């Protein structure tokens, strides 16, 4: 008998829309594992180093083929491991995000990571967060969200997060970096950032994180009751 399909919830949206903390908390409340797919692109960026997107395609393909992705833990404590190791905090910077975004344009990268993401989705119920979860990777997921917020709100949030870590940040520089990453993510040929036709769009600009988590958890519970 074929295995029961796993329950998949998708959350997509631009950089700084609050996806990561919201997704982690919602995964905990819904008792599903959490997959941060941006971390997979960031891990590749770290592995290849600056200018990695300019390497010959076979070199990028070989690096990807050698990376083993797995999930450890469950709910809000789920960790993505690459070759058994979590992503270092140093990979969370806007600089590594921009390197990841340049790699994310390449079809070889998208194809390999999509297969890895779908393979993880066969191992466990999952809340998958990224840019193309609802459109390209899990198009049949019964419950999809797209989180958005203005670039100004997203930049201000990033500055606040960095300040909380004791790292002063320049609002204008972060706004420019966010706008350029948006441009790159929205305008690439393959799997551009956009809501799936059946995604619920949540503008988080004027919402607290608690309110966004509550909206997602309520809608996901409702969807599974009606599935
Ligand atoms: O979400 P995060 O900021 O960690 O993602 C880093 C970059 O990885 C994004 O700007 C995007 O270019 C790429 N990405 C993607 N598809 C995903 C997740 C991330 O293209 N599903």
Structural domain count of the chain: 1
Residue 59 lies in a domain: yes
Judge whether 101 and 52 are in contact, CB under 8 Å: no
Residue 2 lies in a domain: no
pLDDT for residue 18? 87
Residue 174 lies in a domain: yes
pLDDT for residue 165? 83
- pTM for this predicted structure: 0.93
Judge whether 41 and 129 are in contact, CB under 8 Å: no
**Residue with CA nearest ligand 1 atom 1:** 38
Ligand 1 atom with the smallest distance to the CA of 41 is 8
- 132 CA → ligand 1 middle, Å: 9
Residue 14 lies in a domain: yes
104: domain range?
A: 8-226
Residue to mutate, 14, 101, 107, ligand 1, most ligand atoms under 8 Å from C-beta:
101
- Sheet containing strand 33-36, strands side by side: 33-36, 126-130, 8-12, 143-148, 200-203
Residue to mutate, 37, 44, 138, 184, ligand 1, most ligand atoms under 8 Å from C-beta:
37
pLDDT in tens, 94-151: 899 999 999 999 999 999 999 999 999 999 999 999 999 999 999 999 999 999 999 9
CATH number for the domain spanning 106: value is 3.40.50.300
pLDDT for residue 26? 98
Residue 129 lies in a domain: yes
For residue 1, pLDDT beyond 50: no
Residue 3 lies in a domain: no
Classify residue 133 by its DSSP letter: I
pLDDT in tens, 60-83: 999 999 999 999 999 999 999 999
Alpha helices in 49-87 (DSSP H): 57-65
For residue 187, pLDDT beyond 70: yes
pLDDT in tens, 18-39: 899 999 999 999 999 999 999 9
pLDDT for residue 3? 57
Phi, psi of 192 (to 5 degrees): -65, 155
pLDDT for residue 93? 86
- 130 CA → ligand 1 middle, Å: 6
Judge whether 91 and 40 are in contact, CB under 8 Å: no
Kindly list the protein residues whose Cβ atom lies closer than 6 A to any atom of ligand 1. 15, 37-38, 41-42, 97, 100-101, 104, 130-132, 181, 185
Give the C-alpha distances (Å, rounded to integers) separating 139 from 85, 122, 132, 136, 203. Answer: 29, 14, 9, 6, 22
Phi, psi of 13 (to 5 degrees): 160, 170
**Residue with CA nearest ligand 1 atom 19:** 38
Judge whether 6 and 140 are in contact, CB under 8 Å: no
For residue 4, pLDDT beyond 70: no
């Amino acid at each position: 008998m074929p295995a029961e399909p796993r329950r998949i919830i998708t959350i997509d949206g631009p950089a700084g829309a609050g996806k990561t903390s919201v997704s982690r908390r919602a995964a905990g409340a819904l008792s599903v594992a959490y997959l941060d797919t941006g971390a997979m692109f960031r891990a590749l960026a770290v592995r290849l180093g600056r200018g990695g997107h300019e390497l010959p395609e076979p070199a990028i393909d070989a690096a990807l083929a050698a990376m083993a992705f797995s999930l450890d833990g469950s709910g809000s404590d789920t960790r993505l491991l690459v070759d058994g190791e979590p992503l270092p905090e140093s990979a969370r910077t806007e600089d590594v995000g921009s390197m990841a975004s340049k790699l994310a344009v390449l079809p070889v990268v998208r194809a390999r990571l999509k297969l890895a993401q779908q393979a993880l989705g066969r191992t466990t119920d999952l809340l998958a967060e990224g840019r193309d979860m609802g459109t390209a990777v899990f198009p049949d997921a019964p419950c999809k969200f797209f989180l958005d917020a203005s670039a100004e709100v997203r930049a201000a949030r990033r500055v606040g997060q960095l300040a909380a870590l004791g790292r002063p940040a320049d609002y204008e520089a972060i706004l420019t970096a966010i706008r350029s990453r948006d441009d790159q993510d929205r305008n690439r040929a393959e799997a551009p950032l956009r809501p799936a036709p059946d995604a619920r769009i949540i503008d988080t600009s004027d919402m607290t994180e608690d309110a966004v988590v509550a909206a997602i958890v309520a809608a996901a519970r409702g969807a599974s009751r009606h599935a």
